[in-house]
Structure 1
Amino acid sequence: MIDSILDQMTLEEQVSLLSGADFWTTVPVERLGVPKIKVTDGPNGARGAGSLVAGVKATCFPVGIALGATWNPELVSQMGKALARQAKSKGAAVLLAPTVNIHRSGLNGRNFECYSEDPMLTAELAVAYIGGVQGEGIAATIKHFAGNESEIERQTMSSDIDERSLREIYLPPFEQAVRRAGVMAVMSSYNRLNGTYTSEHHWLLTKVLREEWGFQGIVMSDWFGSHSTEETINAGLDLEMPGPARDRGEKLVAAVHEGKVEAATVRAAARRMLLLLERVGAFESKPDLTERAVDLPEDRALIRRLGAEGAVLLRNDGILPLAKTSLDRIAVIGPNAASARLMGGGSAQIAAHYTVSPLEGIRAALANANSISHAAGCRHNRLIDVFKGKITVEYFKGRGCKGNPLHVETVDKGEFFWFELPSGELDPADFSARMTMQFVPEESGDHVFGMTNAGLARLFVDSALTVDGHEGWTRGENYFGTANDEQRGTVALEAGRAYAVTVEYEPSTASGEGINLIAVRFGVEKPLGEADIEAAVETARNADLALLFVGRDGEWDTEGLDLPDMRLPGRQEELIERVAAANANTVVVLQTGGPVEMPWLGKVRAVLQIWYPGQELGNAVADVLFGDVEPGGRLPQTFPKALTDNSAITGDPAVYPGKDGHVRYAEGVFVGYRHHDTHAVEPLFPFGFGLGYTRFSWAEPRLSTGEMGSEGITVSVDLTNIGDRAGSELVQLYVRSPETKVERPDKELRAFAKLSLQPGETGTAVLKILPRDLAYFDVETGAFRAEPGNYQLVVAANAADIRFVIDLSSPLTHVLPPSH
C-alpha cells in the first residue's frame, strides 16, 4: 500500500510529509487518503497540544531520574503502557519520549528527565519504557540523539566526544532501543556533535543509526533544531519540526530540481513517514485528534507505587519507618512541605489532574492530624511565586491593546505559553493581550512583583508601572532562552486591601535565531526572612519530630539552563542546621533532579530522596515515611561529596560548561562511578546505593561456566530476606577487565536484578553477560574488542559494596563490529 501511495504522489506531496503542519501535527495528503497524526510531549505525561502550563489535564508520572532509581524495568514498562493510553486520550499517535542522555555532571538542567549516569541501566529502562508504549500502538521517540548532556548554549554548542566514549557511554541506550525495542522514532538533539549539527550529521543518522543498527523508523528534529535544507535530508533527517516548513517545502523541491538532493532520497524519507503512519494504525481508522482528560484509578495506584519504588533512603539511624501511633506532635517544615513539586520544568511539564503535597499526604496518613504543625521557614524559588487567582484576559488584533478585544477568557494562573492563540483571527506575530486581576495581600509590608516574558510586557499595580519587561528587553535564561531574565519591582502593600494588577503583552518585533516563542509569566510574593526561619525553628522545637522538606523545583531543574552549583538554593542549608539543632529527631526529605552536597548530613537522623515523583507525591512519601511500603530506590547517579569531585568539573571551562562554542568531554569513558572507582575519589553516596527497612543474606554466586564463550555466562545469586518486613534488594554485576592497550574503568556495570521478597523468603537473582560485556570499543578496528585473559566478575549491592569477586577466563579474542 505504501509504495502504491508513493507512486501516486507528486514530488511536492512527498516533500510535504517531511515537515510538520504546525506545532504538533504532520501534513495530510487528503487526495490519497494520507491522514495527519499528532505528536505529544513527554516523558512523564502526555500533555497534548496545549500549553506547557495549561490546557487539558493529564496524568503526571514520575520523572526520568525517579524511574532510574527504581531499577525496575517491569514497572517502567507498565508506566509505558499507561502513557500510551494517556497519549491516545490526547489524540496523539507519537509520544516524544524517553529521554536517555547520560548524567555526565550533576548540573545538567535536564538531569531529572534522564535515567542514569550508566548506559546499561539507561538502556534497560529505555527498552522497557519503549516496549510498554509501542505495545499499545503508540510510537515512542527516543531522544536526544546525541551528546546533549548540558543545556548551556545547547542550540549551538558542539559536544566534542571521541568515538570510543560515544560507543561505550553515550550511544548504547539508543542502540539498544533500536535493536531490542524497535523504537519507531528518534529525535536529533539541538547541539552539534564534533562540529556538525546532529540534524545534519550523516555519520550519526545514516552510517551508525540506519546502516549499522538497522533503524527502520523516522528521525525528526527537535523543535526548531534543524537549520538547513539539503544538509539535513541528505544526512538522514526525515521530519522537520515544528511546522509549517521552514527549510523544507519549496526549498526542498528546488534542491531536488537543482540536483542538490536526489529524488530517491526524498522518496525514502517520505516512505518512512508513511510507514510510521501505518505502524500506528493511522490508515486503518482516521485519527481522532480530540483531547480528553482521563484520570484512571489504576494510573493513580501505579504512580504511587513508582514513587515509593524510586524513593532512595540515604541515611537512617533507625528512626524510620515512623510509627503512626507514637507521634503526638509532628512539625512539617520547609519550602517543599506545603507545595507539591511534582515535576521538572521545560517541555516535560504538564497540567496535572491534581496535586498532593507532602503536608497533605502526611495529614491524610495520620488520624491525629491536629498534631501536625507547619512552617515554611524559607523560600528556594528562582522566580517569584506565580500569580494564582481569577485573571481576565483580553486579546486584541495588533499591538498596544487597542480597540475592542477579539476574544475574552478567564484563567486562574499568571503564566501563558501560547502554542496556539484562542482565535484563528489573531496573528501570533501581531497581537496583544491584557491581563487584569486583583491582589489582596494577607500581610502588610513590601511585596515583590516579578515578570519574565518571551515578547514584550509591562506590569502595573494600581496603574503604576511596577515591572518593565519592554524597554531594553534582552534574552535571558527563561523559556528555553527566549525570554528575558525575570524583572522585579517592590511595592509596599496593606493587608486586606484590593490592588488592581494589569499586565499588557505583545510579541517581539525582532526575529531571532532558533526558537521564537510567545510567553509571559508574572507573580507576587512577600519575601520570607529571619523571622520566618525563627518561626520554623520554634515549630520544630515544640514537636516530637521534625520532617524537613527541602530541595529544588521545576524552576531550577529545567530545560533551558544548567544549575549554578550543587548546593541547596536559598537559605535551606541554614534551615536544616537550625532545625536539627532545635530538634534531635529531624528527618530530611529531598526533592531534587540530581545530587546535592550535604554539609549537614551528620546532623540529621535520616535523609530520604524522593525526586519529582508525580501527582501522588504526598501520598507516596507518606507511604515510605510511615512504613506502609519500603523505600525501594537505589541511586542511578553517584552523589559526590563536592561538585569538584565530578569528572566533568575540572576547572577548565572547555571541559565544562564550554568555551568558544565547544564543550570537550575530556573525561572520556570515566563518567560517574567509573571515575570515582578508577581514581579513588570517595563519593558521598555511591552509584546504586540505597537503604531499606529489612535485611538480606547473600549466598555464594553460581556460574553456568567459568569460561566465556559465544553463548555468554549466567551468574545466579540466592538472596534471603532475614528481616521481619517485606523488602527489595538490588544485585549488580560488574566486569573488571585485565590490562589492555587502552585505559579501562575499574569496573563497569553489565547486568542487574532487583528482587522483592517477603520475610523469610528466598529468591534467585539471575544475571547474564555476553562477550561484548567484556569488550571496549577499539577505534583502530572500528569494533568492540574483548582481549583474551582473566577477567573478574564483581557481584555488588552498589558500586562501593562489593559482596563477591569471581575470576573468569576468556581464552579467545572477541571482535564484534557495531553492526553485530
Structure 2
Amino acid sequence: MTLPRYRDPAAPVADRVRDLLGRMTLTEKVGQVNQRMYGWHAYERADGGHRLTEAFRDEVAAFGGMGALYGLQRADAWSGVGFDDGLDARDGASTAALVQRHVVEHTRLGIPVLLVEEMPHGHQALDGTVLPVNLSVGAAWDPRLYAEAAAAVSAELRSRGAHLALVSALDLVRDPRWGRAEECFGEDPYLAARLTEALVEGAGAAGVGVVLKHFAGQGATVGGRNSAATELGARELHEIHLVAARAGVAAGASGVMAAYNEFDGVPCVANRYLLTEVLRERWGFEGIVMADGGAVDRLVRLAGDPVAAGALALDAGCDLSLWDASFPRLAEAVERGLLSETALDTAVARVLTTKFRLGLFDEEPARAGAVGDGGDAVRDGALPAPGAPAARHQGRGGPDAGDVGERIARASITLLAHDGAVLPLSPSVGRIAVLGPNADSVDQQIGDYTAPQRPGRGVTVLQGVRAAVAPGTEVTHARGCELVGDDPTGVPEAVAAAAGADVAVLVLGGSSARSRTTVFDDNGAAVAGSATASGMTCGEGVDLADLALPAGQLALLDAVSATGTPVVVVLVQGRPHALPELRGRAGAVLSAWYPGPRGGRAVADVLFGVHEPRGRLPVSVPRSAAHLPVFYNGKDHGYRGYVDVSDRPRHAFGHGLSYTDVEYGPPRLSRSRVGADAPALTCRVTVRNTGRRAAHETVQLYLRRLSGGTSWPRVRELRGFVRLLVAPGAEAEAVFEVGQDTLASLDRELAWVVEPGTVALETGPASDRTAGALLEITPAAR
C-alpha cells in the first residue's frame, strides 16, 4: 500500500504539509490551532498508575485531533499538582507516550500532538531540574555556559516526551518594580540577545524547539505593573525591546509568544504590525506565534464576541491559542465571513510545519502495556522512562543539568561592595553566625514558576556554610525576622548570635515561593494581596511600589551591625532591591539572584574564596524607587539630576568587584576612520592583575555616539563583552572585532544601518567606569 505523501519521511516538509492540509476538514483544521486544555486535566491516577481522562478523549474527538497540549508535566501551587497525583521522573515519559498514542490511533489522519512545557529556568515538572533564574543567568555573562545548561535541561524535557519549551527571554528589566524581573536576563538588549541565541542553540541541540516569551515590550509596562499598558514609540520598541527577539528568530526559534500588553493601543496578540509586518515580512520568521494564556479571550472587549475575537487574533498573525474559548470557534468565524479559510490554512500550515520539523510524524509512540480501559492507561514505569532521579538528567551523554546549574549560580554571584578585608572568609574563622530570613530556605532561593521539590533536596546558605567550614568552627543560626513585616521578636536572638561570633553572614532579600494559600488569577499570576500574605515579594503578579528591603530586614541589619561584629550581607533576590548606604554597616555585600536549589553551596564557595566572585550586574541597582528609571542606556539629554538625592544608581549596570585588584589600559583601535559601507577594525584593551588572586574579568565594550545619526543618542550601549582569566601579576588582552553589528543604529525606516558620524568605543569593567577612543565613520562611497 502506498503511503500518503505526508507520511513519507523522505518528502520535503513543504510537500508533506501541503498534502496533509489538503486532506483536512474545517473542524480538523481548527483543532490544529487549539491548545485550550490544561495538560494536568488529561490524566488521572488509576490502578497504581495513570490513565487518560474522559475530558481529554472528548477534546480529541471534538476536533478530530489536537494541535498542542500545554503542561502535561507541569506541577505547582497554581495547577494544584504535586507528588501525590502528578507525573514524576518515573512516569512522565510513559504518560506522554500514552497521550501521543491515543491521538495518533484514535483520529482519522493520525496527526501527533505538540507537547508544550514550561522551561522558565529548568523544566517545571516534578523531579525536573531547577536552574538559577534568568536574572542569575544574566549576571553570569556567559552564553556558552547557558547554552550548555539549556541543552542539558532540554534533553531532560525531551526524554519526558515534550517538544516545545516556553522560556521567558525577550522581556527586559526596564522597571525593577515589576514582579517578573527575575524572568529577564537583565535591562540590556545586547546581553539579552546573546543569551537568547544561546538558549535557542542549546535547546535545539537536544531536539527541543523554543517558544520565546514575550513578544513584545512587556518589560516596559507603566509603573512596573504586570500586564499593564505600555507607552513605547516604534523606535524605542525596535532599539530596545525587539533586539533579543530578532536574535532568537535568526538563531532558529520555533515560536514566539505574543505578550499581554498592547503596542500603540493594539494588544500584541492582535497586533498585525508586530506579528506579521515585523516578525514575518521583515524578519522572515516561519515559526508559530502562540497566544499567552487566555489573551485571545481578552479581545472580546474589542471584537464584541469570542468568535470575532478569535478571528481578530488569527488574522493578525497568531497561530496557536492557549486556554481560551475563542479559537475553538474559528469554524464559526469562517462561516460568518469574519475569517477566510485561506488565513486559517496559513496558521494550520505553520503548526504542521513545526510538527514535521521537530520529527513528530516520524516517531512511533511507545505502546503501553494495557491496563484496562482499552490500553489508554499505564502503570508507573510501564513504558520506557528516564532513570532514577539521581541520574535522570544525563541526556544524550551530556552533562548533568543540576551540575551546570550550580556552575551558573557560582558564576552569577556578584560582589557589590567590599571593604577589602572581610572576604574571603577563612574556613577556620572560629565562630560564624548565619542570620536572616533567607539563610535556611531552599524554597526562597529557587524563584517563581518552580515545581514542588522533594524534601531534603537542595543546599541552603546555612547548609553551604556549615559544609565549608573547618572542623571545630562553630556555626550558629537565627532567623532574626520574617521576610516581610517589621516584627522585632526575633532580633534579640540574632543580635546575641552575632555578638558572640567572629563574623556574621546576614542573608536578606526576597522570595517568589508560591504556596497553597496563594490565590491566583486565571492565567496563573499571583493575586497581589494573597501573595504578600503568603510571603511572596516577587514573581508574576507581585509588583512593588517601594523597592526598599522590608522594614524588618533593615532593622535586623542595623541591630546586627551595631554589635561591632564584621557583617557580610548576602542578598538572595529576584529583583534589584533599592539599597541604602551600607558603608559602616556591612563589610561586604553579595547579590545572589535566586541561585537555584544548590545555590547555598555556590554562595559558600564564593564566601570562602573557593571560587572568585565572577558575577557582573545585568541590571542597575537603584537607590530608591523615587528616581526610576535608572537603566544605564537612557537617552543622553545631559540631565543634571535631582536637587535632593543623587540620580545615579547605587551600583551601575556591569558592576562587580573581585578579591583582587585590576587595572584597565585605554582602548586601542586598529583604525580611527572607517567607511559606513564596510566598517571593519579591532579594539584592544589590556587588563593587568595587580593583586594576589586570580582575576575573572568581564571586559565590556560600549558604543557612544557623539555626532551624526538619525535619532537622539543614548548615553552608551553595550556592544560586546569578553571574559578573561588573569593570573596574579599578569596581564591579558581583550580583543573585540568591530563591524557593522557593533556600529549599527536605526535609520528613519527603522532598519539597522551604519550611519556616518563620530562615535566613541569605550571599554571598562562596568558601564560607569569606561575609557573611550574616537572613531570617525565616513559616508558610504557613492
- Interval containing the TM-score (normalised by the shorter chain): 0.7 to 0.9
CA contact (8 A) 1:103 1:117 kept: yes
The superposition leaves residues 397-428 of structure 1 with CA deviations (integer Å, 9 ceiling, x where unpaired) of xxxxxxxxxxxxxxxxxxxxxxxxxxxxxxxx
Q: Offset at 1:811? A: 0.5
User: Is residue 94 of structure 2 the alignment partner of residue 23 of structure 1?
Assistant: no
User: Is residue 234 of structure 2 the alignment partner of residue 163 of structure 1?
Assistant: yes
Equivalents in 1 of 2:18, 2:365: separation in Å? 21
User: Is residue 54 of structure 2 the alignment partner of residue 73 of structure 1?
Assistant: no
639-648 or 303-312, which deviates more? 639-648
User: Is residue 478 of structure 2 the alignment partner of residue 375 of structure 1?
Assistant: yes
CA contact (8 A) 2:701 2:719 kept: yes
Q: Secondary structure at the match of 2:759?
A: strand
User: Is residue 760 of structure 2 the alignment partner of residue 792 of structure 1?
Assistant: yes
Q: Offset at 1:209? A: 0.5
Equivalents in 1 of 2:638, 2:469: separation in Å? 47
Q: Offset at 1:13? A: 1.1
Q: Determine what percentage of the aligned residue pairs are the same residue.
A: 33
The superposition leaves residues 362-398 of structure 1 with CA deviations (integer Å, 9 ceiling, x where unpaired) of 111123366111111100148xxxxxxxxxxxxxxxx
Instruction: Provide the aligned C-alpha RMSD in A.
Output: 2.6
Equivalents in 2 of 1:263, 1:737: separation in Å? 49
Unpaired runs of 5+ in structure 1? 49-55, 383-527, 649-670, 816-820
The superposition leaves residues 638-671 of structure 1 with CA deviations (integer Å, 9 ceiling, x where unpaired) of 11222222228xxxxxxxxxxxxxxxxxxxxxx4
CA contact (8 A) 2:660 2:693 kept: yes
Equivalents in 2 of 1:677, 1:627: separation in Å? 43
2:6 equivalent in structure 1: none
Equivalents in 2 of 1:162, 1:715: separation in Å? 33
User: Is residue 404 of structure 2 the alignment partner of residue 302 of structure 1?
Assistant: yes
CA contact (8 A) 1:729 1:755 kept: yes
CA contact (8 A) 2:704 2:715 kept: yes
Equivalents in 1 of 2:671, 2:288: separation in Å? 42
**Are residues 639 and 729 of structure 1, via their aligned partners in 2, closer, same or farther at CA, if it must alter by over 3 Å?**
same
1:571 equivalent in structure 2: 552
Q: Offset at 1:636? A: 0.6
**Are residues 760 and 145 of structure 1, via their aligned partners in 2, closer, same or farther at CA, if it must alter by over 3 Å?**
same
**Are residues 153 and 598 of structure 1, via their aligned partners in 2, closer, same or farther at CA, if it must alter by over 3 Å?**
closer
Task: Name which of 247, 251, 257 aligns with 2:335.
Answer: 257
The superposition leaves residues 619-643 of structure 1 with CA deviations (integer Å, 9 ceiling, x where unpaired) of 1001000000011100011112222
User: Is residue 325 of structure 2 the alignment partner of residue 246 of structure 1?
Assistant: yes
User: Is residue 117 of structure 2 the alignment partner of residue 40 of structure 1?
Assistant: yes
2:653 equivalent in structure 1: 687
Equivalents in 1 of 2:315, 2:633: separation in Å? 39
Task: Name which of 749, 753, 769 aligns with 2:722.
Answer: 753
Task: Return the TM-score normalized by structure 1.
Answer: 0.73
1:613 equivalent in structure 2: 595
2:563 equivalent in structure 1: 582
1:436 equivalent in structure 2: none
Q: Secondary structure at the match of 2:760?
A: strand
Q: Offset at 1:809? A: 1.1
**Are residues 7 and 152 of structure 1, via their aligned partners in 2, closer, same or farther at CA, if it must alter by over 3 Å?**
farther
Q: Which amino acid aligns with 1:544?
A: D
Equivalents in 2 of 1:381, 1:368: separation in Å? 35
User: Is residue 191 of structure 2 the alignment partner of residue 121 of structure 1?
Assistant: yes
User: Is residue 303 of structure 2 the alignment partner of residue 235 of structure 1?
Assistant: no
Q: Secondary structure at the match of 2:733?
A: strand
CA contact (8 A) 2:427 2:473 kept: no
Q: Offset at 1:151? A: 9.4
Q: Which amino acid aligns with 2:681?
A: I
Task: Return the TM-score normalized by structure 2.
Answer: 0.77
1:540 equivalent in structure 2: 498
CA contact (8 A) 2:189 2:244 kept: yes
Task: Name which of 225, 228, 234 aligns with 2:295.
Answer: 225
Q: Secondary structure at the match of 1:685?
A: coil
2:778 equivalent in structure 1: 811
Q: Map 1:86-235 onto structure 2 (within 5 A).
A: 86-149=156-219, 150=221, 157-179=228-250, 181-227=251-297, 228-235=309-316
Task: Name which of 14, 21, 46 aligns with 1:6.
Answer: 21
User: Is residue 310 of structure 2 the alignment partner of residue 329 of structure 1?
Assistant: no
**Are residues 571 and 260 of structure 1, via their aligned partners in 2, closer, same or farther at CA, if it must alter by over 3 Å?**
same
Equivalents in 1 of 2:422, 2:254: separation in Å? 44
Q: Secondary structure at the match of 2:362?
A: coil
1:598 equivalent in structure 2: 579
Unpaired runs of 5+ in structure 2? 1-15, 40-66, 70-102, 298-308, 367-382, 513-535, 641-646
Equivalents in 1 of 2:578, 2:706: separation in Å? 34
602-611 or 556-565, which deviates more? 556-565
Q: Secondary structure at the match of 1:739?
A: strand
Q: Offset at 1:345? A: 5.1
Task: Name which of 329, 346, 363 aligns with 1:268.
Answer: 346
Q: Secondary structure at the match of 1:561?
A: coil
Higher strand share: 1
Q: Which amino acid aligns with 1:275?
A: T
The superposition leaves residues 573-624 of structure 1 with CA deviations (integer Å, 9 ceiling, x where unpaired) of 0100110110331110001122222225111100000110111111100100
CA contact (8 A) 1:314 1:607 kept: yes
Equivalents in 1 of 2:334, 2:626: separation in Å? 52
Q: Offset at 1:561? A: 2.6
CA contact (8 A) 2:130 2:446 kept: no
Q: Which amino acid aligns with 1:617?
A: G
Q: Map 1:264-413 onto structure 2 (within 5 A).
A: 264-286=342-364, 293=389, 294-295=392-393, 298-341=400-443, 343=445, 346-347=448-449, 351=453, 354-368=457-471, 371-381=474-484
The superposition leaves residues 761-786 of structure 1 with CA deviations (integer Å, 9 ceiling, x where unpaired) of 5443232333354444344x343454
Q: Map 1:732-771 onto structure 2 (within 5 A).
A: 732-740=700-708, 742-760=711-729, 762-771=731-740
Greater relative contact order structure (CA < 8 Å, 6+ sep): 1
CA contact (8 A) 1:786 1:813 kept: no
Q: Secondary structure at the match of 1:160?
A: coil
